[in-house]
Amino acid sequence: MARRTRRYIFFFAAILAGIGIGLAYGWVINPVIYRNTGMGSLRIDYKTDYVLMVAELYEAESDVAMALARLSYLEAASPLSLVTTTIDFAENNNYASDDLQLMWELAAAINAALAPIK
């Protein structure tokens, strides 16, 4: 019986030692370093989903300034260009027509809001 107990103790000690060594390696010796992980580095499909969410919020709130602020997280240069690029992606990937309509309405609102600035 003592031999069997010793095996269990050794087994659990080995498991704990492996977990400890793994955590020490991952956190102290070779931790992950994130680079270029801003919202602008998202793939186009994720950007399209984000723009769709902004369009849904715009439909509920009708606040162009807030929509522009939300879109600035993805790309600060040209929100209208971002929206039209993501609309093209959505059309090519068979997004629902209701979703496309929301995105087109957002693009029209942004175009109208930015027209006096041009």
**Looking at residue 37, what is its pLDDT?**
79
| DSSP state string for 54-67 | HHHHHHHH--HHHH
Q: Find where tokens 């020490």 sit.
A: 24
Percentage of the chain with pLDDT > 70? 97
The rounded Cα 39 to chain-centroid distance in angstroms is: 6
**Looking at residue 66, what is its pLDDT?**
94
Q: What is the average per-residue pLDDT within 23-29?
A: 93
Q: Per-residue pLDDT tens for 64-107?
A: 999 999 998 887 678 889 999 999 999 999 999 999 999 999 99
